[in-house]
Amino acid sequence: MLSGIILGKASLNLLSRSEVEAIHNATLEILETSGLNVPSKTALEILHKAGANVDYEKNHVTIPEHIVKEAIKKAPKTIRYCARNPRNDFVLDKKETHFGTDGYAVFIRDSETGRRRNSTTEDLARWAVLADSLSMVHNFWPSLAATEVPEPIQFTYAMVTSLSNMEKHVEGEAKNAREARYQIEIAAAIVGGEEELRKRPIISAVACPVAPLGYETGLLEGTIEFAKAGIPVVPLAMPVAGQTGPMTIAGTLVVNNAEVLGNLVICEFTNPGAPILYAGCPSSMDLRTGKFICAPESELVNGALTSLARYYDLPCEISGGASNSNTLDVQSGYERTLGILTTSLTGPDILVCLGGLEASNTMSPELLVIDNEIIEESLRIARGFEVNPDTLAVDVIRKVGPGGHFLAEKHTITHMRTEQWVPKITNLQTFGAWEEAGSKDIVAVAREKVKEILASHKPEPLPKDVQEEVSKIMKRCEKEFLTQS
């Protein structure tokens, strides 16, 4: 007689323990010898006080191993991502993967015309509503730039637009410390003050390092402000193999790792216990043109980054599933599916890159809906299956016997919802039924779904008094950034 439960769970681990340690040790060597370019007096002072070796004239820092280890020790190992609606809160605790949109493309593939054009605030508002309705979008990085808005306040406008049109967590960016402070003030106005925001961070902040081994002044100083306020920081390193990272996957991992750990040191010595994610969005280049591309090697780096995050016991946000295709075609489908499945099997806390074409330079509403379907199917594969006396079904097989069927069995009814995934937009019809229904391909079905969602889904608006307060803050922000001195 069989007893007990064996849980079959699909997973993928691309690095052995010894390989992870080799990358870690190589990273420590780089941080202590080659060091980092840190063009911020504020950050340099933080690093100097931490005990790093600082050259103020050259904006250069080398970081000894013990400082890196101390920063890792200070960093929280679990982070709660909160949302306007607490039902949409989720925890980064290394137990399950959540998914997010990609950020700040300047083009959208218009659903009505199918043409690529510049994105607007109105496009972002609709995109936020769409993402709010989709079950597999947990983390919202504003995917579209409000290109009609002056550049100095685009990030803040995007944050306000996002928070006003959805009830999920919003992951923004700030170009400098002043913009970061405005964004903190806006989020605090929504949740009821800065102390409440510290308890319930409804926003987080992406700040991409400048590969190789450097940072941008404004983004870094914005990061410091977010760390002070207890806002989760996402140092999304973006080395390109062969250009801003070594051609080898292992070497690119070392560059990514050094940039993230450098940012970690700055945040933790700014505010011990500041929530920070291990993050990365590495890529490859087209060897024929030098163009930035997403490639199988990119997904290998993505998956390996999860192993590094687990080695440091840090929550992580990793990219995965981007497509090089310029349109909604078979290429966009297979590139995204391979990337999403591969990376999700490694188990990151957050996987980002949803909705984008052309290496995420163009966003497609239809693709966001399709991605939601791809994720659901990928998670079904990752969930695996159970092997136990009930699922082995010996009794029901014996009862039905040779030549029978299982349709009327209670066992079938009991397990049909838990055992088999049911798609929402994927075609399962026979050819005749499909033809009779209009011969719609997946893009046409997704387009109809987009229209249906935008017509019916109504996120709860911000309260009137909060809208008024946010409007006042935005007026001050506009005056400061747009008024010529």
Give the burial class of 40: count Cβ atoms within 10 A of its Cβ; 0-12 exposed, 13-18 middle, 19 or more buried: buried
Q: Could you read off the pLDDT of 22-33 as tens digits, one per residue?
A: 999 999 999 999
Q: Could you read off the pLDDT of 73-113 as tens digits, one per residue?
A: 999 999 999 999 999 999 999 999 999 999 899 999 999 99
How do strand 107-109 and strand 116-118 relate by DSSP bridges?
A: antiparallel
How do strand 169-172 and strand 278-280 relate by DSSP bridges?
A: unpaired
Q: How many CB atoms lie within 10 A of CB 417?
A: 9
Q: Which residues pair with 378 in a beta bridge?
A: none
What is residue 418's predicted lDDT score, i.e. its pLDDT?
86
Q: Could you read off the pLDDT of 469-483 as tens digits, one per residue?
A: 999 999 999 999 998
Structure tokens at 261: 């750990």
The answer to whether 117 and 110 have CB atoms below 8 angstroms apart is: yes
Q: Could you read off the pLDDT of 332-362 as tens digits, one per residue?
A: 999 999 999 999 999 999 999 899 999 999 9
Of the candidates 418, 342, 347, 346, the one whose C-alpha atom is nearest the C-alpha of residue 386 is 418
Task: Measure CA of the first residue to CA of the last residue in the chain; give whole Å.
Answer: 83
Q: Could you read off the pLDDT of 139-189 as tens digits, one per residue?
A: 999 999 999 999 999 999 999 999 999 999 999 999 999 999 999 999 999
Task: Work out the average pLDDT over 428-447.
Answer: 96
What is residue 417's predicted lDDT score, i.e. its pLDDT?
83
Q: Is residue 60 pLDDT above 80, yes or no?
A: yes
Q: Which residues pair with 214 in a beta bridge?
A: 37, 210
Q: Could you read off the pLDDT of 125-138 as tens digits, one per residue?
A: 999 999 999 999 99
Task: Work out the average pLDDT over 307-321.
Answer: 96
Distance of CA 56 to the CA centre of its chain: 34
Q: Is residue 422 pLDDT above 80, yes or no?
A: yes
Q: Is residue 56 pLDDT above 90, yes or no?
A: yes
Spatial distance between the Cα atoms of 477 and 469, rounded to a whole number of angstroms: 12
Q: Could you read off the pLDDT of 316-327 as tens digits, one per residue?
A: 999 998 999 999
DSSP string, 289-351: T--EE--HHHHHHHHHHHHHHHHTT--EEEE------SSSSHHHHHHHHHHHHHHHHT--SEE
Helices (H), 150-203: 154-165, 177-191, 194-199
Which CATH number among 2.60.120.560, 3.20.20.480, 3.90.1150.10, 3.30.70.580 corresponds to the domain 1-11+77-224+231-241+272-392+423-485? 3.20.20.480
- pLDDT bin (cut points 50, 70, 90) of residue 382 is confident
Place of tokens 């990514």: 256
Structure tokens at 484: 């010529």
3-class secondary structure, 413: helix
The answer to whether 127 and 88 have CB atoms below 8 angstroms apart is: no
Q: Could you read off the pLDDT of 441-452 as tens digits, one per residue?
A: 999 999 999 999
Q: Which amino acid is present at 468?
A: E
What is residue 8's predicted lDDT score, i.e. its pLDDT?
44
Peptide bond between residue 212 and the one before it cis (omega within 30 degrees of 0): yes
The answer to whether 8 and 385 have CB atoms below 8 angstroms apart is: yes
What is residue 484's predicted lDDT score, i.e. its pLDDT?
56
What is residue 10's predicted lDDT score, i.e. its pLDDT?
73
Helices (H), 9-60: 17-33, 41-50
The answer to whether 164 and 452 have CB atoms below 8 angstroms apart is: no
Task: Work out the average pLDDT over 452-458.
Answer: 98
Place of tokens 């949803």: 354
Domain boundaries, given as residue ranges, for the chain: 1-11+77-224+231-241+272-392+423-485, 393-419
Spatial distance between the Cα atoms of 348 and 54, rounded to a whole number of angstroms: 34
Spatial distance between the Cα atoms of 461 and 466, rounded to a whole number of angstroms: 10
Give the burial class of 292: count Cβ atoms within 10 A of its Cβ; 0-12 exposed, 13-18 middle, 19 or more buried: middle
Q: Which amino acid is present at 276?
A: I
Max CA-CA distance within the chain? Answer: 87
Q: Which residues pair with 233 in a beta bridge?
A: 205, 276
Considering the chain, what is the average pLDDT of its residues?
95
3-class secondary structure, 77: coil
The answer to whether 382 and 9 have CB atoms below 8 angstroms apart is: yes
Structure tokens at 288: 């024929």
Let me know how many helices (H) and strands (E) the chain has, helices first.
Answer: 18, 21
Structure tokens at 247: 């051609």
Q: Which amino acid is present at 451?
A: K
- pLDDT bin (cut points 50, 70, 90) of residue 2 is very low
The answer to whether 102 and 363 have CB atoms below 8 angstroms apart is: yes
